[in-house]
Chain A
Amino acid sequence: MKDQDAVNDLLSRTKAIVETIVDGVITISDRGLIETVNPAAENIFGYSLAELSGQNVAMLMPNPYRKEHDGYLDNYLSTGDKKIIGIGREVTGLRKDGTTFPLELAISEMEVNGQRMFTGIVRDISQRKVTEDKLRELFARTKAILDTIVDGVITISDRGSIETVNPAAEKIFGYRLDEISGRNVSMLMPAPYRSEHDGYLSNYLNTGEKKIIGIGREVTGLRKDGTTFPLELAISEMEVNGQRMFTGIVRDISERQETEEKLREAMRRVHEQRIKDEFIATVSHELRTPLTSIKAALELIIGDVVVAGSDQEKMLISIAHKNSDRLLLLINDILDISKIESEKMQLNLKRVSVRRFLETAISDNQAYAEKHHVKFSLLRCSKNLYIHVDPDRLMQVMSNLMSNAAKFSHQNALVEVLAEQRAENVRITVRDKGPGIPLSFQGRVFDKFTQADTSDKRQMSGTGLGLHISKAIIERHHGELSFESVIGEGTEFHIDLKQQIQRQGNQ
């Protein structure tokens, strides 16, 4: 009886298992007739055991599988060729209500009391299928996006090796995925960025300090053919299956930069043209002003408006004469500007004694002193100072500085000229005790056609080009022209030129 109890116990346990598991269990005879179904199978197909018992199992399959099933079974029984037995696979089930559904089926064979039987374990996988389909669709979408976007997408491992690249990235760099997969991403960068890259990555992994991650920036890329190109790179970090990875989005911006460069070039040309136009308009204005006086004075004389030999006639002749001089000065200055701007100013360099040069400057410019009732004085200058300059051009600068100083000095004031050695340079200074340069004008002193606004007509007689030309001449000598000015106290202009060291027998 004990054995019987044990058998009964095993039976009831097996029954309990079969009745409670979520998978459907169906046993069929070797003729395909259903013998038993568990509650899960009843539930899956919507039939009761009574409805299924003794029926051909093919009733649980839709066409065309239904027809194929008897063939399978017959084939197996006659040939022993296991087409489906022992192999789990996905098939389609047919419910009582006529609906079909995907199911996973595993068939095993057994012998009970010498009778061959088959057990089918079935699992409704509709839900899993839906999820799988969704994932598949999502994957397809993502892939389609990656395959078609114009930006290159490259993923690398935390050790810098390339894991994936999309077609755009292949096109941008000229490599196929299989050529670069697993290689260090720094191969896509030219030196010196290449060597910097590993440093960036290990620095980030060690310190967590993000130098480039999350920040779009312009870098240089290296194509397979060895050419480099500008690219915009944005790097982001992600975790896939616990593994840290980086995604780089790259965009070839050669074309954009080319367009930007062309645009800048066009704007630069427009700007240059505008400056040229403005210069021509200003020159036209500056030339017309003295010409107006000359032409009007002469026409009034020719038109017999004034009495021949009268003071008024003399005054008109003097106006014409004075303005002719002014016109000439202006034309010379404009020619100088033209030479400076086309970089055609030739220098005739000579070894020049500074002291002798300054003495000549003072005597040559005496007319300005007399005109403005000031006195030029050579304050100090060592005998041993020499410079290597074009004396005519440097004299032009001195005349400009000295005439300015005279113009802006009070009557009977002293305009001091001095030279001193400053390290390897010689500094020539022209110092006046005039009103000083207004602060608002100091920034424009060396601009073309500029003169400080002043109501004193005496100060307005220049061309407005002198200091611009002077500065250019000194810079052409690799020197510097600068000034210091204190309102109410006066102005000093400094010419700094390299000193020429005296050599024996070279005088």
Chain B
Amino acid sequence: MKGYAALEKILYIEDEPDIRLVAEIALRQVGKLNVITCANGEEGLSLIHEFMPQLIILDVMMPGMDGPQILSKLRTMPEFMLTPVIFITAKVQPDEVEQFKKLGAVDVITKPFHPMTLANDVRAIWATCHE
């Protein structure tokens, strides 16, 4: 018996429409998760209160608000101050990954990701947040 809630609701913000589509299939159909995807930070933040995700996945490089900017915005919102955030990025140099972790993300998933295991990878990260 786990001492914390199972992961069900994820918000994923990604500006690349094709990646959004494949990630949705990976998380929803393979991972049986309740996922909402958005194209940008403004859209994501507009529906976050209604959806109340347990975990948020953010692309790093996006026009308008980028991933790190959305993260700092979330940290000012009382309801999402402690919500785990994962960065998903094609910026994969070790120093870049280290930099993203320092910004307060619980983990970084690099692109290309594995659609068949993406949901399990996210669940594993969710578990480490509750150790």
Q: A453–B30 contact, CB under 8 A?
A: no
Q: A292–B63 contact, CB under 8 A?
A: no
Q: B26–A288 contact, CB under 8 A?
A: no
Please classify the interface of chain A as helix (H, G, I), strand (E, B), loop, or mixed, using the class held by over half of its residues. Answer: helix
Residues of A within 8 A of B30 (CB): 300, 303, 305
Give the interface size class of chain A.
20 to 34
Q: Which of B36-66 contact A (CB under 8 A)?
A: 39-40, 61, 63-64
User: Residues 10-40 of chain B: 1 if any A CB is under 8 Å from the residue's CB, otherwise 0?
Assistant: 0000011111011101100110000000011
Q: Is the C-beta of A322 less than 8 angstroms from some C-beta in chain B?
A: yes
Complex alpha-carbon distance, A284 and B91, angstroms: 7
User: Residues 414-455 of chain A: 1 if any B CB is under 8 Å from the residue's CB, otherwise 0?
Assistant: 000000000000000000000000000000000000010111
Give the interface size class of chain B.
20 to 34
Q: Which of B83-125 contact A (CB under 8 A)?
A: 89-93, 96, 111-116
Residues of B within 8 A of A460 (CB): 15, 63
Complex alpha-carbon distance, A453 and B115, angstroms: 29
Q: B22–A319 contact, CB under 8 A?
A: yes
Q: A457–B17 contact, CB under 8 A?
A: yes
Q: How far is the CB of A320 from chain B (nearest CB, A)?
A: 9
Q: Is the C-beta of A370 less than 8 angstroms from some C-beta in chain B?
A: no
User: Residues 294-318 of chain A: 1 if any B CB is under 8 Å from the residue's CB, otherwise 0?
Assistant: 0111011001011000001001100
Complex alpha-carbon distance, A409 and B56, angstroms: 35
Q: How far is the CB of A294 from chain B (nearest CB, A)?
A: 8
Q: B18–A453 contact, CB under 8 A?
A: no
Q: B22–A288 contact, CB under 8 A?
A: no
Q: Is the C-beta of A291 less than 8 angstroms from some C-beta in chain B?
A: yes
Looking at the complex, which one of A288, A300, A319, A451 makes contact with B112 (CB distance below 8 Å)?
A: A288
Complex alpha-carbon distance, A287 and B92, angstroms: 12
Q: How far is the CB of A445 from chain B (nearest CB, A)?
A: 16
Q: How far is the CB of A407 from chain B (nearest CB, A)?
A: 15
Q: How far is the CB of A460 from chain B (nearest CB, A)?
A: 7
Q: A-contacting residues of B (Cβ < 8 Å)?
A: 15-19, 21-23, 25-26, 29-30, 39-40, 61, 63-64, 89-93, 96, 111-116
The 9 closest A-B pairs by CB, nearest first: A288-B90, A296-B22, A293-B18, A292-B112, A292-B111, A453-B63, A296-B115, A295-B112, A285-B90
